Chains A and B, each alone.
Chain A
C-alpha cells in the first residue's frame, strides 16, 4: 500500500460547459455522484435528455412526508400519524422518545431508499456533515434541525447559517442555551467561524487564525447571548422552539477584528445574530471555504494548488455573485469540463450509506410491507450503516465524518481491514442470504426486477455490460468481466442462458425457471460487490 505517490491530475481545469461526447459513461458519472445509486433506466434517460436538462432536473427539490408513529411505545401521537408536533408524555418520556428516535432514523433511511431523480438527499447528508449536530434528547428538535437543512439544502447558504444558528437542536448541541451575558459560552461561536462559515486558516499570531481571531470568537459569543431552546422534553408544548430572552442578552456594542474590517455590531436584540452572520459573509473566504467542501464531496478529495487557483476560484465567484445561492454553483459544477474529466472518475470511495443504498436503489429493492414493517427493516438498515461506519444524525464529532477532512486518506478511511470485511458481509447478506430480516419480513436485492429492466436480459454479455455500467465507474478489465459472465452463465454457452431466461420470462411465476435465474444473478452481483472497483464512485 502506498498513499502518497503522484497521481495524474485532471487534464481540464475549466469550468466552461462540457461539450464532449454525452454517453452512458458521462451520464452514469453524473448520477453516481448526485444520487444514492442510479438505476440502469435512469442512466439511459440521462443520456437521452442530455446534460443540461438532466442537471436541471437533478437540482430540483422533492417533497418528503413526515416520520410516522409505528410503535405502541408512543404514548401521545396516534399510530399512523406523525409525532413531530406532539408533546412528550408526562411520565416515562424515555420510552416515547426512544420510539420517536427509531422512527426518525427509519424515516431518514426510507428517504435514502428512493429512485427519485434528485440530489436532495446527497445535499441533506452534505449539510448534516457540515453542521454536524447529533440526535438531541427530544426527537422533535432533531427532526426540526433536519428540516431546516432540507428546506435550505439547495437554497441560500447565508439563510441556512442564520436558521441553524438559532435552531433548538443546535442551541443544545453547542451550548447556545448556556450562553448568556453573565456567563458567555463560546462553544457555538467558535464553530461558527471554524467549521460553519469562514474556516480556520494558518495561525499567524497569538490567537490569530488568518481569517478570524480569538477575540472575534469572544465578541461573537456575546452577540449570540440570550437564546433559549424551549419545549424540549415538554409534555405540553407541541413543538420545540427558540426564544430570545432580552434579559440574558449582552447589550454592549461589539467590535470584530481587522479580519472583518473592525466591523462594529450595534445592539440589535433578537436580530443581532443575523447582523453578525451578514458581517462574516462580507468576507470572500466564506465562499472559498464552502466551495472547497462541495468540491471534496462531489468531485475529488485532492485540492491541489492548481484546482484551488482555478476551479475553486470560479466556483466561489459564482457563489458570491449569486448572493450565496447554492444551486447556481452546483449547476455550473455538474456541467463543467472539469467535472467530466476522465481522470476524476472513481476518485471517491463510497461512504457506507452510498454503499448500502446503491445496492438497494440500483436494483429497485424497496420493502413493500406496512409502514411499521417497513420501518422495522429501515431501523435494521440504519444499524447496518452505523456498523459499517456511518450513523446518520450521529456524526463522530462536531467536525463531521473524518473521511471528508482527514488528510491524507480521506475517503479511504471508509474502508479499513475490518470495514472491508463488513462491507463484503453486508453485500453477501443482501444478495445471497435473504437480506435484512425484521418481524419476519425481508429486505434484499430484487434480482429479477433488476435483471428484467436491463437492456437485453436474455443476452448474458449485455447483462454483464449493464451491471458494470451501473456499478463500476471505470469498467472492469477483461479477466474480471469474464469471471462475472462465467458465474452468470454457470460456465455454459451463451445460448443456454438465453433459453433459461426466456423460459423464465414466459412463465415468470414458475419457480422452476425463476429460481435458477435469480440464483445466477445473485451469485454474479455478490462477486461484483466484492470487487475493489465497486467500492468507488
Chain B
C-alpha cells in the first residue's frame, strides 16, 4: 500500500543503499505516483502541542528497557503490570486506553526518539525551534507559515477573497500558534467559540496619505477580515455536526477537538488546526508518591488520550477519516532518571504521535535504549529529526513536492515513510488487498519487525526481498483467518538498507518497503 512513498525512497540517500525494484507493474504505478495526488486538497492537519516537555518514558514505556528504567527512575516508574501492551514491546501509560485502542485499529502511530541535534533545554528556545522548524534563532516564521506563504506570499494583503474565504489555519484558544507565523502575519485565526458570530464594529478609517492614514486603512481592513473569517467559521459551525458520544465535557482538549470536528464537518476549508495543552513541565509531583499511575502526568495523558480517541471516533463516524490526520509535539522529552521531587527534568528526545486513518505504520523507529547506570542529566538521544517528520507530513499528507518542502527548511531533509497510506487513486487501490491496509512495524527496524495484516480466510504468502529483487526469507505461507494478524520476523542476519515485504494473495499483491538501520 505504501508504493508512492516506497518508490520515492530513492531519495533516502542517508541510508546509503540505491533502490532498484525490478517490476514493471510497479514502475508504471511509480510514474503516476510521482505526480502530486489529487485527493489531498481538502486535507486537514490537527496539531496538538503538549506544552512544557512531555515525559516520553512514562508515556510510551519501552518494555525491553524496563529493568533499567527501574534503576533510573524509581520515583516515577509505572508498575509493569499496569502498562497497556502496544506494538513493538512498548507499553502505554495505563490511563491511555483510548490511544491504545487506536493503535490496535491502526489509527495511531508512535514515532520513536524524535528531537533535533544539540538539544536546547530551554523551554522558550526549544519551543521556538519546534515551531519554526529552524535552528537559526533569527527565524521567526513558523514551518506551516512558510508552507502557506509559498502560494500566498502577500498574505494578509488581499485576504480573505472570493477564492480563499476562510482562514488557512485556526488556533484554538487565544494564542496564535507560532507554527503558522508568516513574514507579515500569522496565517492562523484564533477561535475560542466557533459559534460566536458577533461582529466587531467597523467605524472605518480615512487614509489621509500619511503613515497614520496607511494605518487607518490597514485597521479598517483587518477588522473586516476578522469579521469575515468569524462569519465563515460560525456558518460552518452552524452546519456542522458531532457524532461521537465519547467526548467528556470536563476534558478541555476534548471539547476543543469537538469544535474542530464541528468546523470540519460543517465544510470549513481551513487546512490546519492547532491546539494546546499546558502543564507538562513536571519537575515535581509528576506522580503521586507511592501511586505512580496517578498524579499530574496521568491526568494530562488521560486528557490527551481520551480527547484524541473521541475525536478520531467522531471523525470516523462523520465519514471524514481520509481527510483528517493529527500530530502531537512537545519541546523536549525529559531526563531518563527521575529526580527527588517525584518528577523529571528537561531532557532530549521523546516519542511523537501521529493519528488518523492514513498512517503507514503504528510504530516507527527503535525503542529507546535505556542504560543500566544513571548518568547525570542524561536524556534520550534523538534518532529522528522532528523537522523530517514535518517535511514528511507536508510531502505525503499535503502533497507538497520534495523540492518545495526542502526549500522550507535549512537542513537537508530526509523523508520518512510514515503517513499517506491513502495516497492512491482508485485504480491503484484496486491492485491492493481488498481487506485493509497492511503494515510493517517497527519501520525502520533493527533486529526484528512485524507484519500486520487482515486475513480473509484464503492463502497468503509473505516474502522479504532485498532491493535487487532477491528473496531473503519467507515470512509466512498459509491460510490466514478473517482477523487481524501480527506476524513477527527476524531481521538480525541482514545488513542495513532497504527491503521490501511482499504480501501475495490469489487476487492481489501488496508491497511494503522496510528499512533496517
- Residues of A near any B CB (own CB < 8 A): 1-3, 5, 7-8, 91-92, 94-95, 134, 300-302, 343-347, 349, 387, 394, 396-399, 402, 406, 408-409, 411-413, 415-422, 424, 473-474, 477, 480, 483, 527, 530-533, 535-536
Contacts and interface: CB of A to CB of B under 8 A. Distances in A.
Contacts of B341: 91-92, 94
A94 B186 CA distance: 33
A306 to B, nearest CB: 14
Given A1-B157, A399-B138, A533 B205 contact: yes
Contacts of B128: 396-397
B180 to A, nearest CB: 11
A429 B340 CA distance: 44
Given A1-B221, A7-B213, A535-B219, A480 B203 contact: yes
Interface in B196-233: 200-201, 203-206, 208-223, 225-226, 229-230
Contact of B222 (A7, A397, A416, A536): A416
A413 B184 CA distance: 7
Interface string B303-333: 0000000000000000000000000000000
Contacts, number: 140
A477 B205 CA distance: 10
B140 A344 contact: no
Contact of B210 (A347, A417, A419, A421): A347
B136 to A, nearest CB: 10
Given A530-B201, A532-B220, 15 more contacts: A1-B217, A3-B214, A3-B218, A8-B210, A91-B340, A92-B341, A346-B211, A347-B211, A347-B212, A397-B137, A413-B185, A415-B218, A416-B186, A417-B156, A536-B212
A289 to B, nearest CB: 16
Given A3-B218, A345-B212, A394-B124, A416 B185 contact: yes
Interface in B333-382: 340-341
B289 to A, nearest CB: 13
18 contacts: A1-B158, A2-B217, A344-B211, A387-B175, A397-B140, A398-B138, A406-B140, A406-B184, A412-B218, A417-B226, A420-B226, A421-B190, A424-B201, A474-B208, A530-B200, A530-B201, A535-B215, A535-B219
B176 A302 contact: no
A446 B128 CA distance: 39
B378 to A, nearest CB: 17
A389 B128 CA distance: 16
B416 interface: no
Nearest to B211: A347
A11 B348 CA distance: 57
Contact of A409 (B185, B208, B284): B185
A7 B156 contact: no
Interface in B383-407: none
Closest 6 CB pairs of A and B: A346-B212, A1-B221, A532-B219, A347-B211, A417-B226, A418-B190
Nearest to B185: A416
A533 B185 contact: no
Nearest to B154: A3
A477 B216 CA distance: 13
Nearest to A395: B124
A131 B189 CA distance: 30
B283 interface: yes
B218 A420 contact: no
Contacts of A349: 215, 219
A474 B213 CA distance: 10
A333 to B, nearest CB: 17
A343 B210 contact: yes
B203 A532 contact: yes
B119 interface: no
B183 interface: yes
B174 A387 contact: yes
A91 B201 CA distance: 53
Contact of A1 (B156, B229, B284, B340): B156
Contacts of B221: 1
A92 B223 CA distance: 47
Contact of B156 (A92, A397, A416): A416
A88 B452 CA distance: 54
A525 to B, nearest CB: 14
Contact of B209 (A8, A347, A527): A8
A408 B155 CA distance: 12
B215 A532 contact: yes
A126 B185 CA distance: 22
A134 to B, nearest CB: 5
B211 A7 contact: yes
Contacts of A345: 210, 212
A474 B212 contact: yes
A473 B223 CA distance: 20
B211 A421 contact: no
Nearest to A94: B283
Contacts of A343: 210-211
Contacts of B340: 91
A397 B188 CA distance: 19
B166 to A, nearest CB: 12
A92 to B, nearest CB: 7
Which residue among B174, B190, B217 has the maximum number of chain A CB atoms within 10 Å of its CB? B174
B200 A412 contact: no
B212 A398 contact: no
Nearest to B160: A417
Contacts of B190: 418, 421-422
Contacts of A2: 157, 217
A530 B203 contact: yes
A5 B207 CA distance: 11
B211 A402 contact: no
Interface in B227-270: 229-230
Contact of B184 (A92, A387, A408, A530): A408
B203 A531 contact: yes
Nearest to B124: A134
Contacts of A1: 156-158, 217-218, 221-222, 225
B214 A416 contact: no
A417 B189 contact: yes
Contacts of A422: 174, 190
A216 B173 CA distance: 45
B155 to A, nearest CB: 10
A81 B206 CA distance: 52
A129 B204 CA distance: 32
Which residue among B184, B215, B229, B283 has the maximum number of chain A CB atoms within 10 Å of its CB? B215
Interface string B155-189: 01110000000010001001110100001111011
A1 B230 CA distance: 18
Interface string B119-144: 00010100010000000011010000
Contacts of B174: 387, 418, 422
A301 B171 CA distance: 29
A3 B222 CA distance: 12
Given A418-B189, A420-B223, A422-B174, A532 B205 contact: yes
A195 to B, nearest CB: 9
Nearest to B230: A421
Nearest to B173: A387
A464 to B, nearest CB: 15
A151 to B, nearest CB: 25
A130 to B, nearest CB: 15
Contacts of A483: 203
Contacts of A8: 209-210
A3 B175 contact: no
B200 A421 contact: yes
Contacts of A408: 184
B215 A346 contact: yes
A424 B198 CA distance: 12
Contacts of A530: 200-201, 203
B234 to A, nearest CB: 13
A134 B124 CA distance: 8
Contact of A300 (B171, B204, B211): B211
A418 B176 contact: yes
B204 to A, nearest CB: 8
